[in-house]
Amino acid sequence: MHYETIGYEVREGVAIVTLNRPAVKNALNTQMRAEITHAVQRAGTEARVAVLTGAGNAFCSGQDLGDRANVANIDLERTLRDEYLPMIRMIVDSPVPTIAAVNGAAAGAGANLALACDVVIATESAVFLQAFARIGLIPDAGGSHFLPRQIGLARAMGAALFAEPVPARKAEAWGMIWEAVADADFAAQWWHRALHLAKGPTRAYAAAREALRASSQTDLQTQMELEAQLQGRCGLTRDFKEGVVAFLEKRPAHFEGR
């Protein structure tokens, strides 16, 4: 498929999805949402990890508000259900781990697009902004789900109501993201992290992601039953056998991943 609003390439098992509308800070329009959804689905079959990043000096500025006539007539409820929900679900449900390599400002739906990924690595100069209240809206694109779980209700409430930018280092300290990296080291670091996951046990990663996501909605008994079920599946994989043999032979494991 030819993409017009994003870039897509696979290198060494890593699918790189680059939001590519730098003139508008990679703002999301209908076409871009559809292309991101398709690309992430494609990455799940062609790669062992998917990375979302942005072209230019921003990750994503959120919903494209540049077309005032279009925005004035937009059906927000339909757009969220028909366009944002499939995109966010595709990222969350991806069979391979997902990384948001946040190369600059991530605002509004752009911030929550990043937070939908399993791991967020941000350049030190990046900021995360729940900008919705500035235009009379609430956090969407999954923001009302991700934020309280990641940073707690008090911080999520402040981020939503005050709509103030959260610098990457503070986002890291809050637990909103995995790590903030010096700008000079950013590209090398996210690539290093992506390669690590690409060489890892993909099925175990998928099971771990499922278990951790379920934990906020289950009691201990239910969670441990889920652990047992998922661990049982992992124990039947070649990756588990290879991991044990590699441990005993004191060598790196060579995982098949599928």
Residues near 198 by beta carbon (within 8 Å), at least 6 away in sequence: 12, 13, 14, 47, 48, 49
Note every long-range contact of 66-71, with CB atoms under 8 Å and residues 24 or more positions apart, other chains counting: 66/24, 66/27
> Tens digits of per-residue pLDDT, 132-153?
999 899 999 999 999 999 999 9
Coil, strand, or helix at residue 139? coil
pLDDT value of residue 84: 95
Give CA separation, 123 vs 83, 120, 151, in Å: 28, 10, 19
Domain ranges (residues) in the chain: 6-198, 202-248
pTM, two decimals, is: 0.92
H/E element, 134: none
What CA–CA distance (Å, rounded) separates 79 from 214? 27
Q: pLDDT in tens for each of the 258 residues of the chain?
A: 789 999 999 999 999 999 999 999 999 999 999 999 999 999 999 999 999 999 999 999 999 987 655 566 678 899 999 999 999 999 999 999 999 999 999 999 999 999 999 999 999 999 999 999 998 999 999 999 999 999 999 999 999 999 999 999 999 999 999 999 999 999 999 999 999 999 999 999 999 999 999 998 899 999 999 999 999 999 999 999 989 999 999 999 999 865
In this structure, whether the domain defined by 202-248 belongs to CATH 1.10.12 is answered with yes
Give CA separation, 221 vs 153, 216, 217, 218, 224, in Å: 25, 13, 12, 8, 5
- For 156, the token pair is 């999520």
> Tens digits of per-residue pLDDT, 62-88?
999 876 555 666 788 999 999 999 999
> How would DSSP label each residue in 18-31?
EE--GGGTT-B-HH
Cβ–Cβ under 8 Å, residues 119 and 178? yes
Question: What CATH architecture does domain 6-198 belong to?
Answer: Alpha-Beta Complex (3.90)
